Structure 1
Amino acid sequence: MGGVTTMAMARVTGRRRRPELAAFLRSRRARVTPADVGMPPGLRRRTPGLRREEVAQLSGVGVTWYTWLEQGRPINASAQVLDAVARTLRLDQSEREHLYQLARVPYAPDREADTHAVDAEVQGIVDALDPHPAVVYNARYDILTANAAYRDLFDLQVLRDIGVRNVLWMLFAVPEPDCPLVFRDVELPVMVATLRGAYGRHVGEPAWESFVRRLSAASPYFAELWSSGDVVPPGPRVKTFRHEAVGEIRMTSVSLSIDGMPDCRIVVYTPDDEESRDRTAALRKLRPSQEIPPS
């Protein structure tokens, strides 16, 4: 019974998406003039925008196929064809993603260049979260920025010696007794499974393939976990850290998405109990701490 209901809902959703897709394509086509794409205006043009046959020609698709797409008919569209239509219609990233959603095609934004920095607004938010440790990671766990409280927690000499601004390198490259995670065999598999969940969007990208290859060579344990193929999404967890100055600290970690940075997240840590709160406060009294060195 549940399967029948799900199928019925899918059919209804499909019927609603098709008119939305048709209206969206017509509105985007109407705003692109022949001059925008280097075409003569022609005679007897009833609308200021491109004609359907012009969009089809510029996108390298058949006129009939594009007409059916714009009419909202139930036809299959590939990512390559949608990309061509998006370029012709001069869609920005948000419009392109919307087109994919309406056409029910998995969306994969262009990630050839990884994000390596955050803007002043995000930096201000991260700093304002102090005294809670906060950090901005990309999907590969590179540290893009962090606040002073985060550095209080992770500013350990053994981690500084690694000289790489990446949490996975920090955690896998140190000997197990020096790892700041207390329950290493529980936490690290979750982190690697989270990494693999993001990897699906980056398969074949040189930066990602190199990262996985180098860390696998540096850490047999990482290589073992990676080969398991486990996948999980980011989510809240209670983690226990050890710090040489104050002892164990139990923290709840929560991931927050960032508008305009779809592959990045702010991770905020809050003490899970009173003892951990006191020890976090004790760390603040030990400031100033040194920055984690850039890679």
Structure 2
Amino acid sequence: MSSNAAQTLGEFLRSRRTRLDPASFGFSGRRRTSGLRREEVAQRANISSAWYTWLEQGRGGAPSAEVLERICTALMLTDTEREHLFVLGLGRPPEVRYRAVDGVSPRLQRVLDSFDASPAIVKTATWNVVAWNRAASFVLTDYSVLPPDERNILRFLFLNPSVRSKQHDWESVARFVVGTFRADVARAGLATEVADLVDDLRRRSPEFDRMWGENHVLSHDVGENVKRLLHPQLGPIDMEYSLFAVDGRPDLSMLVYTPLQAEIVERIRAVSREPVGLCAQL
């Protein structure tokens, strides 16, 4: 860690420490300055008081991710502050924190709805779909008719014959999905959270069992990033897809499909204006 980076880290730690109210943490006594004392932060983080002092003074060296997590907890940092602390201390963001999600904010839903001809969904790190627009209901799946625990992309792909039959090249799609899912789960540290899902799919789908056992790992930017569908109403569709991070929610991502045929764009736009109940599944 450079001296400038260490100094910036120390200044940030000091600013976060001095904003805290000692009484709310059970600390008392007269104080010349506001906030917690350095030794109190060290106590809450279960680290050496001397070393924490050195960190604030810009001479403590590079802390480990584990120590940074303890300091985050001790200083009651927000998710944004936590990410900033990791960037200062380690030069990278922290690992994704997974949180169970029931839906998304109205602001994010409005973003989805603005894509009137592009199917768009928001998925978790475990590949559960938690939000979608009307174009997605028509072109992909009408998720609104499914219970929340069944809105999982892997379950659709491996256990739904209708979804499988409409893939242009199911084997390639399935292999890509398994490889990217494995990478996402590992990156987010969610092996335990998806264990039941993986076990269920391995029991019920020989193809998933085979692909999962191959241990392939892929990224979302592999290949041409084009999804080809055989839609029951629209016929063959080619769509480019792009994956976007969700601001302030590293455990969520937004997937947007952009149709490449002009006539398909107009038909999706027209149908997406109709009531959602009229949309057909993928």
TM-score, normalised via structure 1 length: 0.80
Offset from partner CA, 1:193-231 (integer Å, 9 cap, x none) = 221121113445543121222122222222222233332
**Is residue 211 of structure 1 aligned with residue 192 of structure 2?**
no
Matched-pair contact (CA < 8 Å) for 1:240–1:248: yes
Note the 1:1-295 alignment, pairs <5 A. 14-42=2-30, 45-73=31-59, 75-104=61-90, 107-111=94-98, 113-155=99-141, 164-175=150-161, 178-203=164-189, 206-235=192-221, 237-274=225-262, 276-277=264-265, 280=268, 289-290=277-278
Offset from partner CA, 1:241-266 (integer Å, 9 cap, x none) = 01123321111111222212212122
Shift of 1:283: 5.7
Offset from partner CA, 1:129-149 (integer Å, 9 cap, x none) = 112212111122212122221
The CA RMSD measured in Å over matched residues stands at 3.1
Structure 1 unaligned spans of 5+: 1-10
Shift of 1:76: 4.6
Change beyond 3 A, Cα 1:272–1:60: same
Matched-pair contact (CA < 8 Å) for 2:158–2:164: no
For 2:252, the aligned partner's letter is C
Residue aligned with 2:13, SS? helix
Q: Distance in 1 between matches of 2:256 and 2:33?
A: 52
Q: Percent identity?
A: 32
Question: Which structure has the larger Rg?
Answer: 1
Q: Distance in 2 between matches of 1:245 and 1:64?
A: 69
Residue aligned with 1:82, SS? helix
Name the stretch that deviates more: 124-133 or 98-107: 98-107
Residue aligned with 2:127, SS? coil
For 1:40, the aligned partner's letter is S
TM-score, normalised via structure 2 length: 0.83
Change beyond 3 A, Cα 1:239–1:125: same
Q: How many equivalent pairs are there?
A: 275
The residue that corresponds to 1:8 in the other structure is none
Change beyond 3 A, Cα 1:58–1:148: closer
